Structure 1
Amino acid sequence: MAIVVVIAGTWLGYQQFAATGCTGAVKLTVAAAPEIAPAVEQAAQQWVRSGAEVSGTCVAVEVTQENPASIAGAVSREHNVTLAGLGVAPDAVQIPDVWIPDSSTWLLRLQKEAAGFIPPKISSIAQSPVVLALPEPVAEQFGLPDKKMTWDTLLAQFGTDKSLSVGIVDPAKDASGLTSLLVLSQVAGTDQAGLRKKAQALTALAQNSSALREDLLQRFPNSNTADDLATSLNAAPLSEEDVVAYNAKRPPVRLTAAYLEPSPAPLDYPYAVMPQVTEAQKSEAADGLLAQLSDGVFKERLGSAGLRAPDGTYGSTFQAPIGAPQASPAVAASAAGGDVGGTAGAGTDAAALSRVIGSWVATTRPGRVLAVFDVSGSMTTAVPTAGGATRAKVTQAAARFGLGLFSDKWAVGVWRFSTELDGKKAYKELEPIQPLTSGRAELNASIDQLTPVKDGGTGLYDTILASYSYVKQEWQAGKANSVILFTDGEDSNAGITQKKLLAELEKIQDPKKPIRLVLIGIGNEVNKAELETIQKVVPGSGVFIAEDPAKIGDIFFEAIGSRTGAN
C-alpha cells in the first residue's frame, strides 16, 4: 500500500508539473516559528499543487518548524559569533533559504554581532501583540478587561509583600520576553528611584523565568482554588497568540490578555531571505512564496492560527481574546535588510536590545569580572547632562547600580588606575575578584575610593596587560571571565608601548580559557582608534564609547549584552 501511495503521489505531482509545462525543480527550504509554520506550509503546498514555477522550472517547498533561537544559534555558528545568553546551535541545525522567526529583533541582534549577516529581503507577513497574560480570577482583581492596566501598575507589584508572581521567558531566548522587558525598563526611568524599580523587577522576574514558552505556560494555575492561585504563576508577558492557543485547549482556568500601555513592539514575523540565496531561480522562488503569504486567503489561515495580518487587523477565523482591540495597538516595522542600526517595531534598535539583555545576563548568569576604573585627573571634568557632577561621580553611580544588579552568581573585583598608584605601578587593587555572596559590602565600599588623582596621568597600556593577566590567572570554567575597563583618556604613562602591549596580549591568550576585554570610553576625549587597535587582538572583545558620560550606565549594560563593540 505504501508503494502504491508513493507511486500515486509521484504520478499526481508529475501530472501537475506537466500541466504547467515546467521541468526540473528548484527546492526552497523554509524554517518558520512553530505557531506560524502550519499556515505557511498550507499556503506553500497549495501553491505547489497549482503549478508553482519560476522561468519554466518547477518549485518545491519544504517548510519546517524551528524555534527562532535555534536558527539564530545556527547563524551565529556560521558567522563565528555568539548572541549574549544564547550560544550557538549544533551542526544538525542548518540555515534555511528563508527564515520566518517570530520577531525582527532576532535579525537586529544578529546584524549587530555578525557584520556579514545581511538578508537581501525582509518583509513582515503576520503580527501578534505582546500582552500581559493573567489567569481570569487574577485579572478580575485588576478590573480587567473593563479597566486599562499599565506598566506602572505592574512595576508597583514588585518589591511588595502583596506582589504578583510574575514570570517571563528568558529574554535572551524569546522575543516576547525581550520586548516586554525593554518597555518595562523604559517605563521605570533612569533616576535612582527608577533604577531601584528596575532592579526589583529584574530580580523578581529572574526567580520565575523559563527557558521555553511551553514551560512557562504550564506554571499557570490548574484550578480556581485560593491555594492554587497563590502558588501558581499570576502573570507573564507573552504574545496574544500564546493566550489564544492556551485558551483553545479549554484549560480549567482561562487566561486574560491585558494590552498594557505603552505597547511593546509586537511580534512581526519577518519573512527573511537569507544571504546565501544568490541563485536567481531560488530568489525568484522566494519571491513567489512571499506573494502567496500576502493575500486574503493567508490572512484567514493566520486567523485560524491565532495570528493577525501585518497591519494588525485579523480575519474572520480569529478567536480574539476578551478585550482585544480590532487592530493591534502597535504596528511593527521590519528591520531593514542590511541596516545594522535598523529598528524593529515601535522604534526598537539593536543597542537598546543589547542593554536589556545585558541587565538580564547580569541578573541571571554566572560570571567573573574585574572592573577597572580610570582615576586620572581628567575624571574631575564636570558633566553638564548630569547636573554638573564629575565624570568620576557619574562612573561611581553607574558602578553602584551595576553592582547592585549583579546576582550572587557573580564574582567581582575592583581596580583603580592612573600613574604611580602603587609605587611605580599605574594600577592598584582595591578588591580581588570574590563572590558577591560574601564580598558585596566590601566591593560597595571600594567604589568610594574611585576618586580622581590630581594631575594623575593615564597608565592605560600597563593596566590593560596587568588586568588581563590577572583574570587569566584567576580564570574559572563554566563562567564568563572578563575585564571591563573604564577610561576617559589615552595612554600617557612612561610604561610599555602600544606595540609591546599588543604583542604581549597575543602571546598570553589561551583559546581554551577565553577572556573578554571590554573597553568603555567616557566622554569625547577618548582615543577611539587606540582602543579599537587593542580590541582587535583579543577575540570577542569590544569598544564602547559613552560620549555623554551621563549615559555610562546604558553603555555598561550594552557592553554586557553585546559581543561586539558599539563604536
Structure 2
Amino acid sequence: MRRSIRGAGAIAGAMAFVLVAVGGWFGYQQWAGSNCSGELTLTVAAAPEIAPAVKETAADLTADGAEVDGLCVAVEVTASEPVEVAAAIAGQHGVSLSGVGQASGSAVLPNVWLADSSTWLLRLRQQAPAFASRNNASVARSPIVVAMPEPLATTVGWPQKKLGWKDLLGRITTGTQLKTGLVEPSRDAAGLAGLLSLATAAQSGGGAQAQQATTAALRALATGVSAVREELIARFPRATDPTSLARGLGAAALSEEEVIKFNAEKPPVPLAALYLEPAPISLDYPYAVMPGTEPAKAEAAGKLFAALGTPAFRGRLAGQGLRAPDGTWADGFAPPRGAPSPAGTEPAPTTAAPNPGGTAGGGDGATIERVLSSWSVATQSGRMLAVIDVSGSMFERVPTANNATRMQVTLEAARRGLALFDDNWALGLWIFSTELNGSRDYRSLVPIGPMSSQREELERALGGITPKRGGDTGMYDTILAAYRAVQDEWEPGRVNSVVLMTDGKNEDDNGISQATLLAELKRISDPDRPVQVIIVGIGAEVSKAELDPIPKVTGGAAFVTEDPAKIGDIFLQAIASRPSAPR
C-alpha cells in the first residue's frame, strides 16, 4: 500500500512538471488557483553582477501571483553588459557613443535596463536628446575604489591614512614606477569614474599647468589600459616577492564589488580597496524603464521596482558584494578592510548640475564627453592635416571669450589639442582664405610629419597665424587639395584625416562648386586608403546643412557651434569621432 502512495506522489509531481513545462506560467497559475489569465512578459537587461539578485526577486514576484489587468506577470532577466545595451539604444536613435562602436547582432532592447551606472544614461541623452527613460532611481550601489595589492597599499599608509585623488595623481605622473591600469573608460563605467576623478584632480590648479597635468595623467593611464575588466584584473601580481610586485599591476580603478569578488577567491596577494577623496561617481544601478514601453508593461515594471526595494533584495545584493542604494549593506556582505558604511552615497549624476554633491569628476553629460574626447585624442595615434580658416571674418570678437577674436579662440583650441597629441602622432598645418599663395586659396605652413621632431615648429607656426583682412573663404578648393595631400602619402595603421576649422561658407567665385567637390571626392576615394574629412564650423554664419554632405562622402562628420568659445570642446569631439585605423 505504501508503495502505491509513493507512486501516486511521483505521478502528481510529474503532472505538475508537465503543467509548468508545457503550459508555461499561465498553466501553472490556473492549476494553482490564481485568478490571472494569459501572460504579460516584462524583459529586463541587467548588469551581470546584479542580474542574479534581480532574477531571484523577479521569480518571487511571479510566484506570488503578480498581475496587471488580469494578466500574469512573467519577468525575463538577462545578464547583459551595459556597453552592449548602450550601443543598441544608440543605434536605435541613429547616434553613436565615443569608443562604443556598433551593437552586436545579439543585442536586444529590453523594457527595463539595469545598467551599472547612470553615466550610460547621461551619455545617451547627451547624444540623443529624444532618449528619455523613466524612473531611473538607484536600486543598488558599489563605490569606486582604487584597488591595490595589499603589500603596496601598506606603503602608502593603508588602511589608516586617508588619501585623495591628488595623491594618486602625483604617484602616477612623477615616475614613481607605480604601474596603473584602467579598463577602457568609454566602455566601462568604473574606468570612466576613475578617469573623471583623476581629470578633476589634474585640473584643480587651473591654467596651463592644469592642461599639462591632465595630459600627463591621460598618457600615464593609457600605458596600462585594458579592453575588458578580466584582462585588467589578471595583471595584478600573483606572488608577494619583490619581483612579482614590481612587474604586476599596482593600482586600478575598480568597483568595490570587483575587489570583494577577487578576494573571495583567496588569491596569494589580496587587493586593498582605497576609498579616495573626494568620492568618485559610484556605480548606482539605475532602474531605467525604456521609452515606448507600453502602459501594462510599465505597470509591471513598477511592481518589479517595488520588489527591488525590499529587505529580501538587500540581502541578495549583499551576497553579490553590492550595497543598498543608501550606501549601507545587509547581512552577508563581506566588506573590504577599512570599508566605510555608508559609502558612495553622493547624488546620482545629473545633467542639471555639473558636479553634484561635491563628487569628483563632474556628473553631467557634457563633462563626460569632454573628458572622453580628451582621452581618445591622447591615447590614439593618427596622421592629420589641420587646416585653419584665416579669412577676414576671423577678426570678429567673441563676447563669451573675454572679447577675444575668433582667430585667437581658434588658435588657443588648436594649441590645447596639440598638447594632447603624443609623439606617435603625425601632424601638418595649412591655412586658407582666398589667394593666399598666388591664385591658390591655401598655404602649407608645416608639412605632415612626426610630432617627435616638429612639435616646436608647429607651435611657432600657430603663434604666427593672423587673419587676412578682406580675405574670403575659399573652402571647396582647399578641402579637395588637402584631401589629395593626405591621400598621396597615406599611411597604414593610422587614421588619416583632414580637420578643417572655418567660421563661414564657401565664398570663392573663382573656385569649384560644391557639386564638383563632391563628385571629385567620390571619384578619387579609395576604400583601401581611406581619408576622413572632419569640418569644425564656428559661429552663426556657418551652415551645417551646407557642410554635412562634404565629410559624409569621406566617412567623416561636420561639427558646428554657434558659440566660438566652445570650439575647444568641439575640436576634441571631432578628433575623438574618428573610426579605428584600418590595418
Question: TM-score under structure 2 normalisation?
Answer: 0.84
Measured at CA, do residues 59 and 217 of structure 1 come closer, stay the same or move farther in structure 2, by a change above 3 Å?
same
Structure 1: any 5+ residue segments left out of the alignment? none
Matched residue SS, 1:559: helix
Point out the more displaced range, 315-324 or 465-474: 465-474
The one-letter code sitting in structure 2 at the alignment partner of 1:208 is G
Aligned-partner SS, 1:158:
helix
1:261 aligned partner: 277
- In 2, are the aligned partners of 1:270 and 1:334 still within 8 Å (CA)? no
CA 1:154–1:473 in 2, change beyond 3 Å: closer, same or farther? Answer: same
Change in 2 beyond 3 A, CA 1:255/1:91: same
Aligned residue identity for 1:224: T
Matched with 1:143 is 157
Instruction: Give the structure 2 partner of residue 106 of structure 1.
Output: 120
> For 2:333 and 2:274, how far apart are their aligned partners in 1?
18
| Equivalent position SS for 1:23 | coil
Higher mean Cα deviation, 554-563 or 104-113?
A: 554-563
Q: Tell me the distance in 1 between the aligned counterparts of 2:562 and 2:319.
A: 48
For 2:158 and 2:488, locate their aligned partners in 1 and report how far apart those are by CA, in whole Å: 56
Of 90, 96, 106, the residue aligned with 1:82 is 96
Shift of 1:90: 2.3
2:321 is the counterpart of 1:310: no
Shift of 1:535: 2.5
**Alignment correspondent of 2:237:** 221
Deviation at 1:382, TM superposition (A): 6.8
Which of 124, 137, 148 is matched with 1:123 structurally?
Answer: 137
Alignment of 1:511-522 (within 5 A): 516-522=532-538
Corresponding position of 2:212:
196
Alignment-mate amino acid for residue 505 of structure 1:
L
What's the CA shift string for 1:356-405, capped at 9, x where partnerless? 11122122234333211122345456778878876545544432342332
1:143-192 deviation per Cα after TM superposition (whole angstroms, max 9, x unaligned): 12221111111111233332411111101111111122122212212422
On the 8 A contact 1:27/1:60 being kept in 2, the answer is: yes
Match of 2:414 among 399, 404, 417: 399
Give the distance between the partners of 2:500 and 2:150, measured in 1 at CA. Answer: 49
Return the alpha-carbon distance in structure 2 between the equivalents of residues 319 and 239 of structure 1. 14
- Shift, 1:21, TM fit: 1.3
Partner Cα distance (1:380, 1:441) in 2: 26
**Which is further off, 442-451 or 509-518?**
509-518
Aligned residue for 2:183?
169
The 8 Å contact of residues 59 and 75 in structure 2, kept in 1 or not, is answered as yes
Residue 7 of structure 1 corresponds to 18
- Paired residues of 1:351 and 1:558 also in contact (CA < 8 A): no
Residue segments in structure 2 that go unaligned for 5+ positions in a row: 1-9
Q: CA deviation at 1:556?
A: 2.4
Q: How does 1:482-521 map to 2 (within 5 A)?
A: 482-489=497-504, 491-496=506-511, 500-501=513-514, 504-505=517-518, 508-509=521-522, 516-521=532-537
Deviation at 1:38, TM superposition (A): 0.7
Picking from 417, 420, 430, the partner of 1:415 is: 430
* Helix, strand or coil at the partner of 2:253: strand
Give the match for residue 193 of structure 2: 179
Q: Are 1:130 and 1:176, in contact at CA under 8 Å, matched by a contact in 2?
A: yes
Alpha carbons 1:123, 1:334 under 8 Å: kept: no
Q: CA deviation at 1:234?
A: 0.8
Task: Report matched runs for 1:315-354 at 5 Å.
Answer: 315-333=330-348, 346=359, 347-354=362-369
Q: Distance between the aligned counterparts of 2:370 and 2:58, measured in 1?
A: 38
Select between 395-404 and 461-470 the one with higher mean Cα deviation.
461-470
- 1:236 alignment partner, SS class: strand
One-letter amino acid of the structure 1 residue matched with residue 18 of structure 2: I
Q: 1:563 deviation in Å?
A: 8.3
Following superposition, the deviation at residue 436 of structure 1 comes to 4.2
Residues 553 and 527 from structure 1, CA distance in 2 versus in 1: closer, same or farther, beyond 3 angstroms?
Answer: closer
- In the aligned structure 2, how far is the partner of 1:482 from the partner of 1:63? 43
Q: What is the TM-score of this pair, normalised by structure 1?
A: 0.86
Write the letter of the residue equivalent to 1:24.
G
Using the TM superposition, give the Cα deviation of residue 71 of structure 1 relative to its aligned residue in structure 2, in angstroms.
1.6
Q: CA deviation at 1:112?
A: 2.7
Please give the secondary structure, in 1, of the residue aligned with 2:172.
coil
Measured in 1, the distance between the counterparts of 2:34 and 2:261 equals 39
2:75 is matched with 61
CA distance in 1, matches of 2:551, 2:63: 54
Q: Distance in 1 between matches of 2:169 and 2:349?
A: 29
Q: Distance in 2 between matches of 1:385 and 1:65?
A: 47
Instruction: Sort the Cα spacing of 1:552 and 1:116 in 2 relative to 1 into closer, same or farther, 3 A.
Output: closer
Which stretch of structure 1 is more off in the superposition, 437-446 or 366-375? 437-446
1:38/1:364 Cα in 2 relative to 1: closer, same or farther (>3 Å)? same
1:230 and 2:241 correspond: no
| The 10-residue stretch of structure 1 (71-80 or 250-259) with the greater mean CA deviation from structure 2 | 71-80
Which shifted more, 115-124 or 420-429?
Answer: 115-124
The percentage of counterpart residues that share the same residue type is 44
Give the equivalent residue in structure 2 for 1:361. Answer: 376
Report if aligned partners of 2:503, 2:542 keep a CA contact under 8 Å in 1: no
Q: Match for 1:219: what amino acid? A: R
Larger Rg: 2
Find the partner of 1:288 among 293, 297, 303: 303
Q: Does the 8 A contact of 1:354 with 1:562 survive in 2?
A: no
CA distance in 1, matches of 2:129, 2:490: 29
Mapped to 2, the partners of 1:394 and 1:113 lie a distance apart of: 25
Contact 1:168 1:209 in 2 (8 A): yes
Partners of 2:541 and 2:397 lie apart in 1 by 21
Give the AA of the match of 1:138.
L
Please list the CA deviations of residues 290-311 of structure 1 after superposition, one character each: whole Å capped at 9, or x if unmatched: 2211222212222221212223
Residue 242, structure 1, aligned to residue 255, structure 2: no
Counterpart residue type for residue 207 of structure 2? D
Residue 529 of structure 1 deviates from its aligned partner by: 4.8
- Worse-superposed segment, 72-81 or 460-469: 460-469
Flag the structure with more relative contact order, 1 or 2, with Cα contacts below 8 A and sequence separation at least 6: 1
Please give the per-residue CA displacement for 1:11-63, whole angstroms capped at 9, x wherever unaligned: 79534454321111122221111111111111111111111221111122121
